[in-house]
Structure 1
Amino acid sequence: MHGQATPADPCLALAVWQARLAPHKRTQTDKRRMRRIFIIAATVICLLLIGYATLTSLSGRPMLLGRHESLKVVVFERFVAYMILGFLLSWLFPGRMILTCAIVVGIAISLELLQGLRPDRDPAVMDALEKAAGGIAGVLVSRWYQLLRQR
């Protein structure tokens, strides 16, 4: 081997060579850890996108259908965004449905209150309720899916 020391025993040399070429066998713990890292990353990205959409100026806010969206579309956007966030948070905290609901409602209320710091944005109780309802719906859908998966 080029520049690498090899064991004197041929059987040991073969074992070392096979170990170097053998693919890493992922254990169940490795798979769980990778899945958890993926869920954490997806949750953080979702939260950052929601924060950006909530706290940016109206002209910079992403819109699904363009500048002249109807109120129904805006409500749908909010609901679905927080539903995804609730779904992901529920996977981060399995079996802790009340805690997850409290976190997603807290995020909805906090971001809505922070909107009041922007001169061109105005916080509204109805917006916070729509967002909280979407988050709770996401938690419930996730819990329902987890229960179906256990069967």
Structure 2
Amino acid sequence: MTVLATLSPVGLRPETGHVRIERFAAYALLGTLFVAAYPHHFTRVMSLVLAAAVSLEALQHLTPDRHGHLIDAMEKIAGGVAGCSCTRLMQIVSRKLRR
């Protein structure tokens, strides 16, 4: 879904509210889901999410009606870092509480 929203024509992009919040939330959710699914691979997951954010933003330069911007990539990166980090922190706290 993230690829579709990032590379599709602007008119086909799903909208739910403010675009900056959408970008942040999409990558926060992506990071959360991947860290939850692969808890022992935090560094790899974080790298994958950040690489996806930068790569998809850069790929927008190959489409005729989209243009990647650094601020957009930064919003996606911030969301990815927040999602991955918060989920990892919750995993660590949960593990310590079980002891």
TM-score relative to the length of structure 2: 0.89
1:57 aligns with 2:2: no
What is the deviation of 1:56? 0.6
Question: What is the percentage of aligned positions where both structures have the same residue?
Answer: 39
Distance in 1 (CA, whole Å) between partners of 2:16 and 2:36 is 27
CA apart distance, 1:92: 2.7
More helix by share: 2
Deviation digits for residues 34-73 of structure 1, max 9, x if unmatched?
Answer: xxxxxxxxxxxxxxx11111011011111114xxxxxxx2
Runs of 4+ in 1 over 6 A off after TM superposition: none
Determine which of 53, 56, 79 is the counterpart of 1:111.
56
* Gapped regions of structure 2 (runs ≥ 5): none
Q: Measure the CA separation in 1 of the matches of 2:20 and 2:47.
A: 21
- Give the TM-score taking structure 1 as reference length: 0.60
Q: Rg: which structure is higher?
A: 1
Number of positions where the alignment pairs a residue of Structure 1 with one of Structure 2: 96
Corresponding residue number in structure 2 for 1:137: 82
TM-superposed CA distance for 1:148, in Å, is 2.6
**Relative contact order, higher structure (CA 8 A, sep 6+):** 2
In structure 1, the gaps of 5 or more residues are: 1-48, 66-72
CA root-mean-square deviation: 1.2
1:98 aligns with 2:43: yes
